Structure formats: C-alpha cells, structure tokens
C-alpha cells in the first residue's frame, strides 16, 4: 500500500518537473526564437518568426511564476516519497524489493535509514531529493537584477531533475514490490494478474563493507558536491541563452561553486578514509574506474574555480569557463551513474545496465546542446583584454587549467583505454594504478610548482626579474629544508623533489600572508594578529584559497609518505611470538571469537606494540563475519602518529588448528598528514565560501586595493 | 608574436601530456584476456603483463596461512557485454561457468592475504603473468560478487 503510494508520488513529481521545464521554456518566446535563429534553416526561421510574434511580457511573467511554483513543489513531494521509503526501510517491509536488498532485521535503525543510499534505486531518489532541495534554494534568492535568467535556470534544473526522477520511476524504482506469480517471484510496480504479494522472511542486508561511518557520510557528501555543480551550470546555460554573457552568472554562482567543491572534495577524502579503514589493503586510493569517475568532475571543477577568477578580473577565458562548467556537469552525471551502481566497476560493465545507454544518451545530448550554445554565442564571449606576458598571473592560471585538463585527459584515457585499444588493435589492453601514477606524477609536480609561483606573480605583466625578486627568499629556505631532509630522512629522488615542492609552496604561501599582514601593520598600525585577521577578512577568497593550498601540501606530504615509503611484512605468529617492522616490535598476545550484537561473528586478536623496548599500547585487528550477508570484513588495528601509522590486519585464524594466526603489518609513514590536510582544507574553504555581509561591489574594490599593494611590494 | 608564445607553450604541454600518456601506458599496460583467449595465444604470452577474468571454483580454493600462498582455479567467462547478456547476466554467466566441466580452466597462484570476497562463483580479475608451467602468477587479485547486488529474487521461503 505504502509502496504504491510512494510510487504514485514519484510519478506525480515526474510530471510536475516536466510541466515546470516545459512552461519555463515556452514562457519566453523571444528567447526561444533566438535559439531557433541559431540553426540556419528555413523551417527554424519560420518557427522563430512565429515565436517572435507571440511575445507577451505579461503572459510570460505568469508562465515563469507558474513554472517556478511547480518547481517548488518538487522538494516537498520528494521529501514525502523519501519519507515513505525510509518508513518502509525501518519497518522491515521486505516485500519491497529495494528494502529486501539493502536491509535486514539485525541491522540497527540508523543503518536502515542510511540504506536509503545503499543501493542504486534509493540513491537515485536521494540524488533527486538533494537536487530538488537545491532547486528550491536557488529560487529563494533575490532575482530582481537577474529576472531574465530565471526561466532558463528553471528549465535546466527541471530537465535534470526530470531525467533523474524519470530514471527512478521507469527503470530503478525503489518502490517495486515482489509478487509471486505462477512463473516465480518477480518484482513489479503494479500487481500482475493472478499473483500474490511475496514477503521474504528477512532481507539480505546492506553490504557490510558499507556499514562504516565513512561510507555513511561519503555518498551524501559526494552527491551534495555533484548536485551543487548543477546550479552554476544552470546559470551558465541561462547566460548563454539570454546572451547576457558578462561575468554576472559567475558572480551569482561563485559561492555555489565553492560549496560544491567543498562537498566533492570531502566526499573524495572520506571515500579514501573509508578505503583505508575498511578495505584492508593498506591504501586509500586505487585508481579504480569508479574512483576516477568521482575524481574527474573534481578536476574540471577545480580548473573552473581558478579560471573564473581570470574572467572576473581580466575578462578573459569566457569560452573556456563555459566549456569547463559544461564538462563538469556532464562528468557529474557520468559520475553519479558510475559511482553508485554497485557492480559496475569497469567500462565494459557500464554498457550492460539497462539505464547505461540512457545515461550516455543524456550526457551526449546535453553536451552537444550546450556546446552548440557556446558556438552560437561565440562572438559575445570574446576576451576583453589580451594576454601578453607568459609569467603574468593570468598566464599562470591558464597553465594551471591546462594541467588540470591534462590530468583529466590522462584519467579519461586510462578509463577508455580498454575500449580504444580493442577498437584499433583488436586486443583489449588495460592500465592499472602504475599508469596513473607515472603519467600524473609529473603533472601534479608541475601543479605544485605553479602553486608556488602564481601567488607571487602580478596581473597583466610579470618578468623573470620581478618574479625572481619575490621568489628568492622562500626558494632559499626551501632548499635548506630539502637539504636537511636529504641528510636525515631520505635520498629517494622523487621524495626529494616532492618534499622540496611542498616546502617551497608552504613557504611562499606563508610569506605571501606575512607580506600582506606587514603591509597592513605598516599602513594602519595594527598588531600582527589583527592584521592577519583583517587581511583574511578583506579578501576571503584569496586567503581562504591560500589556506586550501597549504592543506593540499599537507595532503601531499601524506601521499608522498605512504606512496614512497610504505613498509609491509606478513607472517604467521604463535601466541607470544614477535615480529618487527620499521622500528616497531609487535607481540601477539591472544585471540578471541564471539558473537557481536548486530548479527556478526567477531574474531579479535590482541597485539602489544613496542618501540625500542618501550610499551606503546595494544592493537586489535579483527575479522567480522556477517551472517545475513555471508561476508567477512577485515578491520585493521591502527596506531596513528604524525610520523607514521602502524596498520595491522588479521589475515586468518582457524580455531581448530594450533598453528597460530596470520597477520599482515604495514607501516604507512606520514599518512596522517593526509587527513590533517583535509581538516585544514575544511577551514580554508569555509573562509573562502562564507557568505558576505557587505554588498559585492564594495568587496571587489577592497580586493583590488590590497592586491595592488601586494603586487607593488 | 604575442599569440605565438602561448601557442608554443600550449603545444609543449600537449606534447608533454601525449608523451606521459604514451610512456606510462606502454610500460604499464596489461592485456585483458579471457581464459579461452589466453590459451589460444599459446606460449607467446608467457611473461607478458596480463589481466585475466574468470569464475572462481569454490572447491579448488586452498590457502596456506604459513606461506600466505593462495591457490584456486578459475573457469572461463566471456568478457564482452553482449556475450554476458546472452548468458543471462553476469551472475548467471558465472554460475554457468562453474557448473560446465567443458570450460577452459586455469590455476591461479597468489601470495598474500586471502580476500574476503573470494568464494565460489565470484568473478576473479587477476593481474600478473602466465608462467611457462601454465600457472597464472597473480600480483593483484580483484573480486566481484555480482550476486551481492544483482540477484533480486529470494529463495522461495515456506
């Protein structure tokens, strides 16, 4: 009953969003006529003429209002549908296929709620729900200055929404129920003739791998990031259609983009943390196609964040920004599909799903249509100024963009390599993590290098001389630090290059901070702390950005550490035996097996850790066996310090045999810096994205003044 | 003049990226083969970087925790989407592979931790090389259990 009701609500929501999209698009015949003018055939000319004649401002405003209200309905409707689904999940309604697949009686209630996004059908609904919330939020802003954008923003948001809800309604419905027919048990949306509802005794339970705090927050974060990138895209398309192609759309969506980026980054980091804690292979990132699918919109989004600044400050790269946001949008759609569809972890499997071709079709159509709009508006997107100096800030930003695109190309090429190689050579060839590391390593290094010089270069024109004057001090200190690292820590070439760049970027960033604060100190007589505080407050995007740069460097330290210096050993120990690795001595004390509260059998070992004879504590690696899902999970015992992580896995232990237990032990140097970096990242981006109290214009002027001060220094 | 500088810079980056991709791909790429294809290639394929997918035969899994040596057999499953579709989906294709004794089989040896997902009818994707003895020495072992997600129909209860 409830499931049928939920299905009905979804259907209604689908029609509401379709109505909203259609109404929004017909509300402005003039705008629509412009679009048709772009296609130079006689028929479209006629349609355009006809549309032009139908222009009626009063009626148009009424239609837009109608579309807007319809869009506002989507969120309450989807909230109701989601509430119904959660009700079904909590109350063990196993006759609903989705509930049967992702929950079981032994799961605690909070996990049953989060099972909402534990499977494909539910997570599509979750995506749509977030999207509708954001669509409602967008309409709440003040539109007076941007009325002409409204119908087109509604159009884009509602087309996206309708596509996802349509997927949920027609292909991946979380409300489909199981029916017993003469042919067997099958899931149907509507009860077929001579069948009875089939209710299994218990559900199959959420995959235990997904029952982890990281995995509970990771998908919503990633989805928030994905969904909020739709908003800047909607404004970009609105700008293209209305022909208002100045940087207004960028200014409106600046904060959206930053929040989108925040969530996406956090989603990626949490995914890494989950892999580190749960997957039990001592790593955090495996260059799996699914991970890359979530990483690709991050790359274009990051490039976009940087290049919009060029458009705001210098009026350049307008085509490029449009292209970046369009790419980001389509990669978001691609990522949504690929990341949450369970089994699909390769491109081959992708095409096998029923909704795969539809997603591909949607991506192709939206991409072609959007790029068509760019071409149509090509002339009005011309740059206002010209780039002159290779070392100017804008040129360095452009290189930064090219590097991000290069990494994107490397990743994309890696994902499609099996397909292209089969097409051209006949044999399927795949690439693994080694490919991505080798090809991306130098690109990441180049990005870090740019991070170290761009903040010191001036807009418009910079020469080696002016740049050199700004750079030499931090460079010198970085060289000294690197020399110390070389003599005391490592002689590995890659590590030395990496640590040099990290030290250099951190120094440049701090130096730049200090210079700004000094200037304030001198001119306004503030003490250094007030000066730092006010400096950040005055130009939050810039200084928040610097904090983000710093956080990326901390992450880089962690990545260099674990990638280049990871130690591992494995072996079978009897009670009382020891094993040594990386300065640690690990003693196997005891092991116990017991039944946990939520339907799992826990095998837990106790090990004592010593370093140079000093007792440091105990670690408890364990194996959990989940009865409902018939799957076991290996949970590492970890001891984290700033220097390294000791990471112990219990590999196997047979109660009957007297041979002892087998362990695999990793020492992951510096990896904690990766997680600390992500916390600092959070601070930086909140500083950058926090809403302004002052009106925009005043802030922009203040920004310019400070920048001139620091560039002239 | 002014434009040239940027064009040259852009071309240099483009060239560098092409080189990086080519260099990384040529030294790390692996041939993705099914077991039938592997056995058809014969001895040329020995010691090349390979990635092979197959269905795990549960009875053959042996694990020696002392040496961490894992040995198991995999049976041929098709790798292409349409072929898998004709067999009724991946889960069904894997099931068919395990019950059909005429399928080509291959022994895999892997040194390391026994993965949690290794079980009968799982799809194993192994990366490594084929020894001259016909045994596959895997450096990496990836497992997928489509049944976990795809099998929608419960066993008929009561």
CB–CB contact B30 A430 (8 Å): yes
Chain A positions touching B149 (Cβ under 8 A) are 101, 119, 207, 342-343
- Would you say residue B155 has pLDDT above 70? no
CB–CB contact A178 B81 (8 Å): no
- Would you say residue B80 has pLDDT above 60? yes
Query: With an 8 Å Cβ cutoff, is B28 touching chain A?
Result: yes
CB–CB contact A428 B79 (8 Å): yes
User: How confident is the model over B1-42, as pLDDT tens digits?
Assistant: 456 777 888 888 888 888 888 888 877 778 888 888 888 887
- Of A299, A187, A318, give the one whose Cα is nearest residue A244: A318
Domain boundaries, chain A: 1-206, 213-462, 566-672
Q: How many CA atoms lie within 13 A of B155 on its CB side?
A: 5
- Would you say residue A151 has pLDDT above 70? yes
Q: At what angle do helices A120-140 and A150-170 cross, to 10 degrees?
A: 160
pLDDT at A713: 39
* Whole-number Å distance between alpha carbons of A405 and A446: 13
* Whole-number Å distance between alpha carbons of A672 and A676: 6
User: How confident is the model over A9-50, as pLDDT tens digits?
Assistant: 999 999 999 999 999 888 877 667 666 665 666 777 777 777
User: How confident is the model over A303-330, as pLDDT tens digits?
Assistant: 999 999 888 888 888 889 999 999 999 9
* Whole-number Å distance between alpha carbons of A677 and A656: 45
Mean pLDDT of A424-442: 84
Report the mean per-residue pLDDT for chain A.
84
User: How confident is the model over A552-599, as pLDDT tens digits?
Assistant: 999 999 999 998 999 988 888 888 888 899 889 999 998 888 888 777
pLDDT at A353: 57
Give the pLDDT band (50/70/90) at residue A251.
confident
Nearest to B113 among A414, A435, A664 (CB): A664
pLDDT at A279: 74
Element holding A622 (H helix, E strand) = strand A622-626
Top-ranked range on mean pLDDT: pick from A194-198, A383-387, A616-620: A616-620
Q: Chain B, 137-156: which have a CB under 8 Å from a chain A CB?
A: 140, 144, 146, 148-150, 152-154, 156
Question: Which residue matches tokens 């730092």?
Answer: A532
- How close B59 gets to chain A, by Cα (Å)? 17
DSSP label of A458 = P
Q: How many Cβ atoms are within 10 Å of A544's Cβ, its own excluded?
A: 20
- Would you say residue A295 has pLDDT above 90? yes
- Of A204, A343, A112, give the one whose Cα is nearest residue A626: A204
pLDDT at A354: 65
CB–CB contact B23 A438 (8 Å): yes
A426 phi and psi, to 5 degrees? 90, -20
pLDDT at A37: 62
- How close B18 gets to chain A, by Cα (Å)? 9
CB–CB contact A349 B148 (8 Å): no
- Would you say residue B152 has pLDDT above 80? no
CB–CB contact B81 A631 (8 Å): no
Could you give the C-alpha distances from A664 to A274, A637, B69, B109, B119, in angstroms and in order? 19, 11, 13, 18, 21
pLDDT at A120: 77
**Yes or no: is domain B30-150 CATH 2.40.50.140?**
yes
ipTM rounded to 2 decimals:
0.72
Q: How many CA atoms lie within 13 A of A455 on its CB side?
A: 30
- Would you say residue A238 has pLDDT above 60? yes
Bridge partners (DSSP) listed for residue B140 = B127
Q: Confirm if A550 and A451 have CB atoms less than 8 A apart.
A: no
- How close A317 gets to chain B, by Cα (Å)? 14
Chain pair A-B, CB pairs under 8 angstroms: 153
Chain B positions touching A409 (Cβ under 8 A) are 17, 21
pLDDT at A532: 84
Of A60-69, A77-86, A277-286, give the lowest mean pLDDT range. Answer: A277-286
Give the pLDDT band (50/70/90) at residue A386.
confident
* Whole-number Å distance between alpha carbons of B146 and A303: 36
Assigned token pair, A232? 């800047």
- Would you say residue A349 has pLDDT above 50? no
CB–CB contact B81 A101 (8 Å): no
Taken in order A382, A383, A386, A391, the sign of the CA dihedral is negative
- Of A121, A134, A302, give the one whose Cα is nearest residue A230: A134
Q: Confirm if B55 and B75 have CB atoms less than 8 A apart.
A: yes
Report the mean per-residue pLDDT for chain B.
79
Q: Confirm if A415 and B25 have CB atoms less than 8 A apart.
A: no
pLDDT at A705: 46
DSSP secondary structure, B104-134, as one string: -EEEEEEESPPPTT--TTPEEEEEEEE-TTS
Q: Name the percent of chain A lying above pLDDT 70.
A: 92
* Whole-number Å distance between alpha carbons of B90 and A624: 27
CB–CB contact A343 B150 (8 Å): yes
Nearest to B65 among A186, A427, A652 (CB): A652
Residue of higher predicted confidence among A421 and A272: A272
- Would you say residue A703 has pLDDT above 50? no
CB–CB contact A428 B140 (8 Å): no
* Most B-contacting residue of A291, A353, A406, A408 (CB-CB within 10 A), to test interface: A406
User: How confident is the model over A463-492, as pLDDT tens digits?
Assistant: 788 888 888 888 999 999 999 999 988 888
Domain boundaries, chain B: 30-150
User: Helix, strand or coil for residue A459?
Assistant: coil
User: How confident is the model over A180-227, as pLDDT tens digits?
Assistant: 888 778 788 888 888 888 888 888 877 777 777 777 788 888 899 999
Q: How many CA atoms lie within 13 A of A559 on its CB side?
A: 19
Q: How many Cβ atoms are within 10 Å of A520's Cβ, its own excluded?
A: 21
Q: How many Cβ atoms are within 10 Å of A233's Cβ, its own excluded?
A: 26
* Whole-number Å distance between alpha carbons of A66 and A158: 13
Q: Confirm if A102 and A206 have CB atoms less than 8 A apart.
A: yes
**HEC assignment per residue over A274-298:** HHHHHHCCCCCCCCCHHHHHHHHHH
- How close B133 gets to chain A, by Cα (Å)? 24
Chain B positions touching A572 (Cβ under 8 A) are 65-66
CB–CB contact B80 A348 (8 Å): yes
Nearest to A572 among B5, B65, B146 (CB): B65
Q: How many Cβ atoms are within 10 Å of A379's Cβ, its own excluded?
A: 7
Q: Chain B, 61-120: which have a CB under 8 Å from a chain A CB?
A: 63, 65-66, 68, 79-81, 84-85, 89-90, 112-114, 116-117
Locate all alpha helices (DSSP H) within B42-146, ordered by sequence: 81-86, 89-99
* Whole-number Å distance between alpha carbons of B43 and B40: 9
Give the pLDDT band (50/70/90) at residue A380.
confident
- How close A267 gets to chain B, by Cα (Å)? 23
Of A116-125, A151-160, A639-648, B147-156, give the lowest mean pLDDT range. Answer: B147-156
Mean pLDDT of A358-373: 89
Residue of higher predicted confidence among A551 and A429: A551
Q: Confirm if B76 and B34 have CB atoms less than 8 A apart.
A: yes
Q: Confirm if A546 and A455 have CB atoms less than 8 A apart.
A: yes
């Amino acid at each position: 009953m409830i499931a049928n009701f939920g299905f009905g609500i979804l259907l209604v929501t689908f029609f509401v969003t379709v109505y909203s999209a259609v109404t929004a698009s017909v509300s402005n015949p003039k705008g629509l006529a412009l679009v048709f003018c772009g296609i130079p055939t006689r028929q479209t000319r006629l349609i355009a003429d006809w549309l032009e004649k139908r222009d009626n401002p009063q009626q148009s405003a009424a239609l837009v209002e109608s579309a807007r209200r319809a869009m506002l309905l989507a969120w309450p409707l989807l909230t109701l549908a989601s509430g119904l689904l959660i009700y079904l999940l909590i109350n063990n309604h196993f006759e609903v296929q989705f509930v049967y697949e992702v929950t079981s009686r032994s799961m605690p209630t909070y996990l049953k709620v989060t099972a909402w996004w534990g499977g494909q059908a539910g997570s599509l609904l979750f995506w749509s729900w977030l999207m509708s919330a954001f669509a409602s939020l967008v309409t709440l802003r003040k539109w007076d200055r941007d009325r002409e954008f409204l119908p087109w923003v509604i159009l884009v948001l509602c087309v996206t929404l309708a596509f996802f809800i349509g997927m949920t309604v027609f292909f991946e419905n979380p409300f489909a129920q199981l029916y017993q027919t003469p042919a067997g048990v099958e899931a149907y949306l509507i009860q077929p003739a001579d069948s009875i509802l089939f209710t299994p005794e218990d559900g199959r339970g959420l995959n235990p791998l997904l029952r982890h705090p990281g995995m509970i927050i990771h998908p919503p974060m990633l989805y928030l990031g994905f969904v909020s990138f739709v908003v800047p895209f909607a404004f970009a398309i609105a700008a293209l259609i209305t022909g208002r192609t100045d940087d207004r759309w960028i200014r409106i969506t600046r904060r959206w983009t930053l929040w989108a980026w925040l969530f996406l980054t956090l989603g990626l980091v949490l995914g890494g943390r989950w892999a580190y804690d749960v997957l039990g292979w001592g790593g955090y990132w495996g260059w799996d196609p699914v991970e890359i699918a979530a990483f690709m919109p991050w790359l274009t989004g990051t490039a976009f964040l940087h290049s919009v600044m060029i458009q705001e400050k210098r009026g350049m790269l307008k085509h490029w920004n449009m292209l970046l946001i369009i790419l980001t949008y389509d990669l978001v759609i691609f990522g949504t599909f690929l990341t949450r569809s369970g089994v699909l972890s390769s491109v081959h499997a992708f095409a096998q799903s029923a909704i795969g071709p539809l997603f591909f079709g949607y991506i192709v159509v939206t991409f072609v249509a959007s790029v068509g709009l760019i071409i149509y508006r090509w002339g009005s997107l011309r740059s206002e100024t010209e780039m002159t100096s290779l070392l100017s800030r804008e040129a360095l930003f452009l290189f930064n963009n090219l590097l991000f695109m290069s990494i994107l190309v490397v990743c994309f090429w890696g994902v499609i390599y099996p397909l292209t190689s089969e097409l051209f050579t006949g044999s399927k060839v795949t690439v693994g993590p080694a490919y991505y590391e080798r090809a991306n390593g130098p690109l990441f290094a180049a990005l870090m290098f740019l991070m170290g010089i761009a903040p010191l270069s001036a807009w418009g024109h910079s020469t080696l001389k002016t740049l050199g004057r700004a750079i030499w001090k931090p460079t010198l200190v970085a060289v000294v630090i690197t020399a110390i690292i070389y003599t005391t820590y490592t002689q590995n070439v890659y590590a030395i290059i990496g640590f040099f760049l990290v030290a250099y970027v951190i120094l440049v960033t701090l130096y730049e901070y200090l210079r700004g604060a000094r200037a304030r100190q001198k001119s306004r007589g503030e003490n250094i702390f007030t000066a730092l505080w006010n400096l950040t407050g005055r130009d939050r995007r810039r200084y928040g950005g610097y904090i983000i740069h710093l956080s990326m460097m901390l992450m880089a330290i962690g990545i260099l550490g674990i990638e280049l210096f990871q130690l591992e050993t494995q072996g079978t120990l009897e009670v009382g035996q020891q094993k040594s690795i990386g300065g640690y001595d690990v003693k196997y004390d005891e092991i116990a097996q017991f039944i946990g509260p939520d339907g799992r059998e826990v095998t837990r070992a106790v090990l004592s850790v010593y370093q140079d004879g000093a007792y440091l504590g105990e670690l408890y690696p364990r194996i959990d066996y989940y009865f409902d899902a018939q799957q076991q999970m290996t949970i590492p015992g970890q001891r984290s310090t700033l220097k390294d992580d000791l990471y112990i896995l219990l590999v196997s232990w047979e109660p009957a045999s007297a041979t002892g237990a087998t362990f695999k032990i990793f020492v992951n140097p510096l990896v904690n810096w990766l997680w600390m970096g992500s916390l600092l990242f959070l601070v930086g981006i909140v500083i950058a994205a926090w809403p302004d109290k002052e009106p925009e214009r005043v802030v922009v002027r203040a920004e310019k003044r400070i920048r001139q001060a620091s560039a002239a220094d | 003049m002014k434009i040239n500088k940027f064009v040259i810079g852009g071309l240099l980056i483009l060239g560098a990226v092409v080189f990086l991709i080519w260099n990384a791909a040529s030294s790390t790429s692996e041939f993705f083969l099914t077991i039938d294809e592997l056995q058809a290639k014969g001895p040329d394929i020995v010691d090349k970087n390979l990635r092979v997918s197959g269905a795990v035969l549960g009875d053959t899994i042996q694990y020696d925790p002392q040496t961490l040596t894992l040995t198991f057999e995999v049976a041929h499953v098709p790798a292409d989407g349409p072929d898998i579709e004709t067999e009724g989906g991946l889960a069904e294709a894997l099931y068919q592979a395990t019950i059909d004794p005429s399928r080509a089989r291959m022994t895999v040896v892997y040194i390391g931790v026994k993965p949690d997902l290794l079980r009968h009818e799982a799809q194993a994707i192994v990366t490594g090389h084929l020894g001259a003895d016909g045994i596959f020495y895997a450096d990496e072992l990836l497992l997928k259990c489509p049944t976990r997600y795809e099998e929608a129909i419960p066993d008929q209860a009561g």
